[in-house]
Structure 1
């Protein structure tokens, strides 16, 4: 299925490559680099790039492109899902998936990739199985391996690989039994100048951390994707999630709420951006405020706007937070922080155009980032969490979070 894998950083350098069959030359990535140059943003690179003899399938995670080289016909989503699973595994092992973390643990990275793919086909992708095959790196284990010349490869085969529940290892024991669930939703929205919603969608996931010795009743959602542990027949019949959880962190499900379901936008943006014809001055005014937050605070607010190329400088006054303007890239960033409903944050001032420059043809697009704790905009709620078959009572916790995905305000 997958012939080779290349890891490319933000500078366009290939810092790691892995081949499962014959070695594919790095020159095949030239087609990928051409697609990156044509893309307006890193996220807009086409996920599937055909070449005369190969097909390149890529994902962007943590400012790293994971580029898989395919030689035969294969479902692209199958490869994309595997690449995301590789990133999740690296994050589980190293805490973060960055270029530095991959380089510092390059031996473990190659061992993991060797176990996850067998002759180019997925073999072991569950974290519980991989951690029994390849021990996670620690300072003590690294020192011992350096002195003794041993590796992180386990001496015994995983106990759960041939089980009916391969995602959970056997014989797990904990002093404190716990189960935590995070409901995280991202809003992708486009807002026009009057504040009306052009389109809005929600991408949601339920992440879990279950540490138990030895599983919710949501509204109808679109495009639900479950972890293999979920008993799908019971979900179809009763709309109840019943599952035997893996040990540790895992993603229970992901879902999508389309714009037809009247997605509520939690914040509003009022703006006035204008450039006078024949003048070297322009006006920039921006105000933010909470809209559908149910009394919850809007935190970690960051506003960015790509101003036209003819803008020379910006002299603005924020009522809250700080702003920066890069005269080279023309990027304006306003770090608002937490929105106070009693005193709405605003950013006002003037912009200077280059000498002799006419009124810019392009209008800037405002991008917004924010987080709202303990709120699910879709209305998803966990009514009850029951556990059967065990005598102990675990500690259970639910956390909700809404944050901005691609949130744009068009002028």
Structure 2
């Protein structure tokens, strides 16, 4: 299925490549580099590109492009999911997925890729199974392997590979039995000048951290599951149970994993947490302009908005800014024409305001393009869609675990049209 995998950094350098079946020349990536040059943002590079002899399927995460070269036609989403599994495995093994970390652990990276893909087809993609075959790196093991010429590959086949529950290893034991679930939602929204919602949807994910002894069978119930659209589950979830009862029934993997992702697309159900009053104007043929932005809480259900940041992509004609902020700090990057206003925690009693003048090139006409205003925020203990976990039940084991659920809302692509 997958013939070659290339890892490309943000500047366009190929720093790692892995081939199955036969070696594909690096020149195949030139088609990808052409598409990257045309894209305004790295996320805007088309995930599927067709070349005369190959298909190029890629993802972008943690400032790294994972680019796969394929010679035959395959389902693109299948390849995209595998590439995300590769990134998740690197994150689980090394704590972060960055160019520096991958280069420092290049031997383990190649060993992982060899086990995850067999002759171009996915084989073992679960961290539980991989950690039994390839030991995670530590200083002592690295020193011993360097002196003895050994590797991180284990001597025995993992028990999970031989069972009907391949995502969970056998014989798991914990002194403290715990199960935590994080409901994380991102808002993608576009607001017009008056603050009216033009487009809004929520992308949600439930991250789980399960450390339970034995082989527990869990059931997770929601108070309002009908509002969820386009759901996607971890392979451990019994889909027929969800279809009939809207209940998540599963034997969990050991450790951290993504239980499910979902979408809430109805604008009637998407509550925008903040409102924005903004006025950005330029003189017809002058050398200055005016900017005035005010942000306040709208539908936060009494929760505090934290990490609030406003990014304004100015026209090329703007040289400098002379602004005053009632809260937070602001910076202007002349090279990228980007104004960043870091507000921090939103105080409902005293709304943050940023206003002042813009200095522009003399004699330059009024800019044709409008500034792009993006917002970044997070709200603790709140799922903006209203999704609530009602209960978690466990079967198959006699002990009583400690359970916890945390909610978090944050901004995805949150844009205000000026």
For normalisation by structure 1, the TM-score amounts to 0.99
Displacement of 1:375 after TM fit?
0.3
2:253 equivalent to 1:246 = yes
Paired residue for 1:138?
A: 138
Within 2, Cα distance between the matches of 1:222 and 1:91? 28
Match among 242, 245, 267 for residue 235 of structure 1? 242
**Could you say which residue in structure 2 is the equivalent of 1:149?**
149
Pairing of 1:6-405 with structure 2 (within 5 A): 6-214=6-214, 215=218, 216-217=221-222, 218-220=224-226, 221-405=228-412
Q: How many residues align?
A: 411
| CA distance, structure 2, for counterparts of residue 122 and residue 186 of structure 1 | 30
Measure, in 2, the Cα distance between the counterparts of 1:197 and 1:389: 48
Matched residues in 2 for 1:325 and 1:202: separation? 30
What displacement does 1:272 show? 0.3
How far is the alpha carbon of 1:262 from its aligned partner? 3.2
Q: 1:296·1:373 contact (CA, 8 Å) conserved in 2? A: yes
Unaligned runs of 5+ in 1: none
Moved more, 229-238 or 391-400: 229-238
Partner-residue secondary structure (3-state), 2:249 = coil
Consecutive aligned runs of 4 or more in structure 1 exceeding 3 Å deviation? 259-262
Map Cα deviations across residues 40-65 of structure 1 (whole Å, 9 max, x no partner).
11111000011111110000000100
Give the 3-state SS of the residue equivalent to 1:347 in structure 2.
strand
Judge conservation of contact 1:210–1:245 (CA < 8 Å) in 2: yes
- Could you report, residue by residue, the CA deviation over 1:298-326 in whole angstroms, capped at 9, with x for unpaired residues? 00111111100011111111111111101
Contact 2:193 2:278 survives alignment (8 Å): yes
Instruction: Output one character per residue of 1:43-98: Cα deviation in whole Å (capped at 9) or x when no partner.
Output: 11000011111110000000100000010010000000000010000000001000
Q: Deviations over 1:340-366 (max 9, x none)?
A: 111111111100110211110100110
Tell me how far apart the structure 1 counterparts of residues 208 and 174 of structure 2 sit (CA, whole Å).
17
Using the alignment, how far apart are the partners of 1:318 and 1:151 within structure 2?
A: 57
Partners in 2 of 1:16 and 1:126 — Cα distance?
22
SS in 2 for 1:93: helix
In structure 2, runs of 5+ residues without a counterpart are none
Preserved CA contact (<8 Å) 1:199 1:259: no
| In structure 2, distance between residues paired with 1:21 and 1:404 | 42
Q: Would you say the 8 A contact 2:269–2:385 is kept in 1?
A: no
Q: Structure 2 length as normaliser, TM-score?
A: 0.97
Cα pair 2:286 2:362 within 8 Å, conserved? no
In 2, Cα distance between equivalents of 1:110 and 1:222 = 38
Contact map agreement 1:6 1:17 (CA 8 A) in 2? yes
CA distance in 2, matches of 1:46, 1:236: 33
Query: Shift of the alpha carbon at 1:261?
Result: 4.4
RMSD: 0.8
Q: CA deviation at 1:379?
A: 0.9
